[in-house]
A = this chain, B = another copy of it.
Amino acid sequence: MDHLVPTYDDVLAAAERLGPLAVRTPLIEQPALNERTSARVLLKPETLQRVGSFKFRGAYNAISRLDRSRYPGGVVACSSGNHAQGVAAASMICGMNSLIVMPRDAPELKIARTRRYGGEVVTYDRETEDRDAIARALCAERKAAYIPPFDHPDVVAGQGTAGLELMQQAKALNAVPDVVVAPCSGGGLVTGIALAVKHLNPATEVYSAEPAGFDDMARSLASGRRERNADLSGSICDALMVATPGELTFEIARETLAGGVAVSDEEVRAAMRFAFTELKLVVEPGGAAALAAVLTGKVPVLGRTVACVLSGGNVDPALFAEIIQE
């Protein structure tokens, strides 16, 4: 493969590049969650990030490094909705146009927010159309740069800044995470975080949390090669349905992750309800996957210090209303 594998230094450089543009999301602790889990749980709510998910970090880190003279047409990206918003917002800050290829069944809120950040949206059918082919054609036609959702060293390093902050903030609380768990789609977030976490404390175990049926990362870690999911749609976690881990992200994951766990739609809904009732945080389904892994004990939490990433909060009001009233 021709990717350069990013390092801890790339994460530091990304943090420098992002400067104050990314929100330094807090690391928060809620007694009700500690009591419920018999653990010390430190939450990193990337729900509070610019655009409502961690995706701004990687998108800005990649887009701000582009040689604009080579890409007069700006940038093109494929996304179910959070990378879309991250790319649109980062492009606007960098003064570039953005065009995002989004599945027709993406949450309305995500499509509307992408447009609000200045993104032009083209939709496709998840089951029958090839989003990568659509994106490639648009890049050629427009002389635009393609910003992958996860499998790119600048994107991974950018997402890793969440892990860097997490470790700095834990240290300020005199805490060393025994376990870090983050939601996983293609793996950009969890591997970026792992780069930072494992450099700063090699003993910390990093886990990916995926939807049941879309646990390609967990199965790939178990088998040692990139596994594919049987389905392309069908989870409540609209943000976490990719076919297979990235080449680059899997290469990092096999070196740094302790393992992966899968959570059911019901477990995700229960985690979202818990976040509403006890944490007073709005978390979208995919964003709650790691919290579901913590609440169900699918990652080993008992008596340990656990850092849990809430990766996004962009959920349609109707779905959120349904879930909190169950």
User: Which listed residue (B26, B32, B317) contacts A324, Cβ 8 A?
Assistant: B317
Q: Is the interface of A mostly helix, strand, loop or mixed?
A: helix
- Residues of B contacting A324 in the complex (Cβ-Cβ under 8 angstroms): 317, 320-321
How far is B281's CA from A281's CA once the two chains are assembled, in angstroms? 5
Q: Which residue of B lies closest to A273 (CB)?
A: B317
Asked if A31 lies at the interface with its beta carbon under 8 angstroms from chain B, I say yes
How far is B283's CA from A325's CA once the two chains are assembled, in angstroms? 16
Asked if A29 lies at the interface with its beta carbon under 8 angstroms from chain B, I say yes
How far is B256's CA from A14's CA once the two chains are assembled, in angstroms? 44
Q: Is the CB of A280 within 8 A of B47?
A: yes
Q: Which residue of B lies closest to A56 (CB)?
A: B31
Q: Is the CB of B109 within 8 A of A277?
A: yes
Most B-side CB within 10 Å, residue of A23, A48, A313:
A48
User: Which listed residue (B25, B26, B31, B318) contacts A50, Cβ 8 A?
Assistant: B31
Q: Mark A20-57, 1 if CB is under 8 A from B, else 0.
A: 00010110111110000000000001011010100000
Interface size on A, as a range, is: 20 to 34
Most B-side CB within 10 Å, residue of A25, A28, A47, A109:
A28
Chain B: minimal CB distance from A103 (Å): 21
Q: Mark A285-326, 1 if CB is under 8 A from B, else 0.
A: 000000000000000000000000000010001101110110
How far is B29's CA from A23's CA once the two chains are assembled, in angstroms? 7
Asked if A276 lies at the interface with its beta carbon under 8 angstroms from chain B, I say yes
Q: Which residue of B lies closest to A321 (CB)?
A: B321
- Residues of B contacting A283 in the complex (Cβ-Cβ under 8 angstroms): 280
Asked if A279 lies at the interface with its beta carbon under 8 angstroms from chain B, I say yes
Q: Mark A142-184, 1 if CB is under 8 A from B, else 0.
A: 0000000000000000000000000000000000000000000
Asked if A282 lies at the interface with its beta carbon under 8 angstroms from chain B, I say yes
Q: Is the CB of B313 within 8 A of A280?
A: yes
Q: Which residue of B lies closest to A312 (CB)?
A: B280
User: Which listed residue (B30, B32, B48, B109) contacts A279, Cβ 8 A?
Assistant: B48
How far is B313's CA from A28's CA once the two chains are assembled, in angstroms? 16
- Residues of B contacting A317 in the complex (Cβ-Cβ under 8 angstroms): 276-277, 324-325
